[in-house]
Chains A and B, each alone.
Chain A
Amino acid sequence: MNKLAFIIDDSAVNIAVARLLLRRLGWTVEDFASAIPMLARLAEVQPAFMLLDISMPDLGGEEACRMIRANPAWSGVRIIAYTAHAMEVERQRYLAGGFDAVITKPVTIGALKDVVGDAPNE
């Protein structure tokens, strides 16, 4: 079973928090500081889901989501927005743009568990 999760965020500290929390839920985590290497990596391996930041300098989360959704081979990957944008309108826009869920920063273990749950046992 796929226990792999990607975290993509330009803030290294934000990645660290999420990684620690996911690991506590049993997920194996690969993280990327930018969406570009993530997309390259995605050609090799597909995670069960990814936490994708929205506001990133070189490739934004929404654009990256659109690119992933453009490839049918990656349709099995859940894409979860991991963002500090807390406006309701923005949340609605992400869901309409191909995201499966939205986790608003600051993240909590409860919120994560509600969205991704515990990693599957072997």
Chain B
Amino acid sequence: METPHAIRGMSLRAKLVAIFIAIKVVPLVLLAVFAWSAARDLGQLVTLRAVSMSDVMRDTQMRTGQTAIDDAIDALDDRSREAIETLTTATARSIAQFLRERDSDVRLAASLPTDEASYRSFMDARVRNIEEHGPYTLDTEGERWVERDPQPRELALVRAPLPDNSDSFHYRAPDTHMRGTPRPLFLEMSFIDLDGRERIKVLSDTGRLLLDAGLRDITRRENTFVRAETYWPALQALRPGEIHVSRVIGAQVRTHWIGDYTPARAKALGKPFAPEDSGYAGLENPVGKRFQGLIRWATPVLREDRIVGYVTLALDHAHLMAFTDTLRPTSERFAPIADPASGNYAFIWDDEGHNISHARDYFIHGYDPATGERTVPWLDRELYEAWRGSGQSWPAFSAALAPYQDQRLGREPHPESTASGLVGLDCRFLDFSPQCQGWHDMTEHGGSGSFNILFTGVRKLTTVATIPYYTGPYGRSPRGFGYVTIGANVEDFHRAATESGERIGKMIGDADALTQQERDTLVGDIADSLRGTTTSLAASTLAMVLAVILIAIWMANLLSRRITQVVDGIHRFEQGDLDHRLHATGGDELAELARAFNRMADTVQRSIRSLEDARHTAEQANRMKSEFLANMSHELRTPLNDVIGFAELLSMELEDPEQRECATTIHDSARHLLAVVNDVLDLAKVEANRLTLAEQSIDLVPLITSVAALHKVNAEAKGVDLRVDLPAHPCIVDADPVRLRQIIENLLSNAVKFTREGHILVSLAAGADDVSIRIADTGSGIAREEQERIFAPFYQAESFLNRGHGGTGLGLTLSRRLAHLMGGTISLDSLSGKGSTFTLHLPRHSAATGGGPQP
């Protein structure tokens, strides 16, 4: 497998660090990540559980609280409902009882002697207390009605007489504010003959205020109370012992408006403030006109089992009203004055559904005293429009009308109907008040009951109980005389429960807020803890990673430092610090390596020192040799100057040929000596690498020609033919012309010197990159074993001793050295006795072996 380049390029230390990090840091980080992940999961789980637990707790609390409240409300409502139902039926029964007592009265009356005195005495004995409130007046602000002479309430408290009775001891103060006033039960007592004429009529004090004292023909309606009584036919139909009971007869009371009768309200409605002219309405208008009505009882008067006439008793309607006027379906139980606005009050309805007792007197359905007919009742928009559209009188219109048609809460009274002031309630046609049909249905079989209804924005319990009175015409249906209804605000019954519900709700809310807070705190704590865990985990991981990295670097340093030291030491040694040695302690491989290196370094250092010494010695020797040669040259030239100079002068001055020959010989010998000195000097220079070549481009053809011409004279003097074979065109080479001429002269002079007969041929062969100058002679030749030795200094072949040749013994040696210096060679091809051929090979462009051209 090939190692990646990046890893190969790393240093040993880096690799070691990388390995340490790989085997320590990676598992460490993984562990930290696992730990963090586990902690986070745990935190999330706990958070989730805590949230769901608190949610369940809160839900349970709320449901428990709501259930308790609902149960309490239901229980209270049930109890209240039962209490009010009881009150309703009790009231109905009381009324029935009261009415039956009037049956007894009329029977008793029938047995009385038919004279005024008996009737008067009967009437005077029939008195009943009625609880009436005192006079009311507007308060100083004129905003509400208050008692003019308020009676101080009895504030005495009764405490539990014994500890045994103190548990849930409730005391109720006496109703001292209720004033009982004796009031005649009947308005009128009359005896009517068989012709329908009143024969006797006795009026009570209250009756005198309403009724005419004159004796009249009651067969005619206009002679009856508010022209509305039509009892004559019923009387005629009575058999002995039978009783006729009329409806509630009375003039319809009008009202200016419905509700509080105050100056402010009058102003708001733009109507004059005249409360006395408007209908009475309890606390809403305590000074208004009261409904004044009667119920007439009649029964035949018998004489000897024969009907001789009829006695009638007109019950003051106020006594019927007294059953409900002061009734309060609240903890007050009774009140001096009805408060219609409160919604807690009782009504009485007759068997047909006409209201016959109401806190607002104008709601009692009466008659129009002008016609004696029923007034038009309060109607909803639809029915009112229909009636107005018909153009008929109300009695005529209503006679053909089906009762209880589509009564529902969505309807509303016609404003004109309300504004007319005629707002008597006729349950049959009170279409925006569906409880009417509820009562009607509930009393169908003479029973009682209750239901809730949301009326004018208030949830009301409404109870109804049949008045079980079935005398006369009231015996036609199980509904009897009619029914009592009581309305009560449901909210009032269970206000305590609602209030405690609110308290419980608030407690639950507080508990919920607390739970929520606890939960939030818990979640926050978990988050904090997780955050803390994360931070500390990250910090400790980071610290451990840093520690691991530091340890890794330290260990890698420890391991690699010694290797690095060895490498550094070798580098330093390599760069010339030969005295540097490695620190070798211990017995491991690295120490052994260091010791081996040190041994090698010792050896190398010794060798280098000896080499340096040797070189130094050689350089010194060479310098001394050069100096010696230079000095020798100088010291030889000085006397040679004299010798040559004087020999030259002598040869010029002397006349005698023999003497002149001597001078010439001296001159030639000195010249030879000078040549030897020059050659020695040149050779020394070459060997000392001090000879420099002055290279330039030269044409070999004229050079060789001139040299050959110089030697041609000597050659021909010996009878040797010196021939030249040169190309016709120039042959250019880069060379030092002086030294090249020196080589050619040497070779040519040798050839002339050692050739006794025959010829010498100088030829030039020009190649592309090199040239060859060949000098071939027909001389004695050189034996093979001599061929290398002739290039050694001061060696000459057999004829060397012949000084006549004039050689210095250094020519070939110097020539070959010079040829080498020029990048060329001199080769010899010879056979003993067959002549020699010297060939000078030269590159056309020298490789500058002897140094560059000098100026």
Q: Which residues of A contact B (CB under 8 A)?
A: 11, 13-14, 16-18, 20-21, 24, 55, 84-88, 104-109
Contact = CB atoms under 8 A, between A and B. Distances in A.
B652 A106 contact: no
B814 to A, nearest CB: 15
A2 B207 CA distance: 199
A58 B674 CA distance: 28
Q: Which 7 A-B pairs have the closest CB atoms?
A: A17-B645, A84-B637, A105-B641, A106-B641, A106-B644, A84-B634, A106-B640
Given A21-B649, A106-B670, A106-B674, A87 B630 contact: yes
B641 A107 contact: yes
B672 to A, nearest CB: 12
Interface residues of B, number: 23
Most buried by A among B638, B640, B678: B638
Interface string B610-642: 000000000000000000001001111111111
Nearest to A17: B645
Given A17-B645, A21-B649, A86-B678, A106 B637 contact: yes
A108 B649 CA distance: 9
Contacts of B678: 86
B628 to A, nearest CB: 13
A108 B634 contact: no
Given A86-B637, A86-B678, A20 B649 contact: yes
Given A84-B637, A85-B634, A108 B644 contact: yes
A17 B652 contact: no
Most A Cβ at <10 Å: residue of B637, B639, B642, B692: B642
Contacts of B640: 105-106
A17 B638 contact: no
25 contacts: A11-B638, A13-B639, A14-B638, A17-B646, A18-B645, A20-B645, A20-B649, A21-B648, A21-B649, A84-B634, A84-B635, A84-B641, A85-B634, A86-B637, A86-B678, A86-B681, A87-B633, A87-B681, A104-B637, A105-B638, A105-B640, A106-B643, A106-B674, A108-B645, A108-B648
Contacts of A108: 644-645, 648
Contacts of B674: 106
A106 B692 contact: no
Nearest to A89: B690
Given A11-B642, A105-B637, A109-B652, 15 more contacts: A13-B642, A17-B642, A17-B645, A20-B645, A21-B645, A24-B649, A84-B634, A84-B638, A85-B633, A86-B633, A86-B634, A86-B678, A88-B692, A105-B641, A106-B641
Interface string B675-706: 00010010000000000100000000000000
Contacts of B645: 17-18, 20-21, 106-108
A118 to B, nearest CB: 15
Contacts of A106: 637, 640-645, 670, 674
Nearest to B640: A106
Contacts of B643: 106
Contacts of A86: 633-634, 637, 678, 681
A39 B368 CA distance: 183
A17 B641 contact: yes
Contacts of A18: 645
B643 to A, nearest CB: 7
Nearest to B637: A84
Q: Which of B630, B635, B670 has the most CB of A within 10 A?
A: B630
Contact of A55 (B634, B648, B649, B652): B634
Contacts, number: 65
Contacts of B652: 24, 109
Nearest to A13: B642
Interface string B321-359: 000000000000000000000000000000000000000
Contacts of B692: 88
Interface in B821-853: none
A38 B634 CA distance: 24
A18 B649 CA distance: 10
B642 A14 contact: yes
B55 to A, nearest CB: 113
Contacts of A20: 645-646, 649
Contacts of B649: 17, 20-21, 24, 109
Interface string B705-746: 000000000000000000000000000000000000000000
Contacts of A55: 634
A16 B649 CA distance: 11
Nearest to A104: B637
A77 B39 CA distance: 112
A64 to B, nearest CB: 18
A24 to B, nearest CB: 7
Which of A17, A55, A109 has most chain B Cβ within 10 Å?
A17
A85 B634 CA distance: 5
A94 B672 CA distance: 27
A108 B640 CA distance: 11
Interface-central residue, A14, A88, A106, by most chain B CB under 10 Å: A106
A104 B633 CA distance: 11
A121 B687 CA distance: 49
A14 B648 contact: no
Contacts of B634: 55, 84-86
B245 to A, nearest CB: 176
Contacts of B648: 21, 108-109
Interface in B545-594: none
A105 B646 CA distance: 13
A120 B646 CA distance: 24
Contacts of A21: 645, 648-649
Nearest to B642: A13
Contacts of B646: 17, 20
B693 to A, nearest CB: 11
A117 B183 CA distance: 195
Contacts of A17: 641-642, 645-646, 649
Contacts of A14: 638, 641-642
A84 B642 contact: no
Contacts of A107: 641, 644-645
Contacts of B636: 84
Interface string B636-664: 11111111111011001000000000000
B176 to A, nearest CB: 160
A109 B667 CA distance: 13
A18 B646 CA distance: 9
A21 B678 CA distance: 23
Nearest to A55: B634
A115 B646 CA distance: 19
A88 to B, nearest CB: 7
A14 B674 CA distance: 16
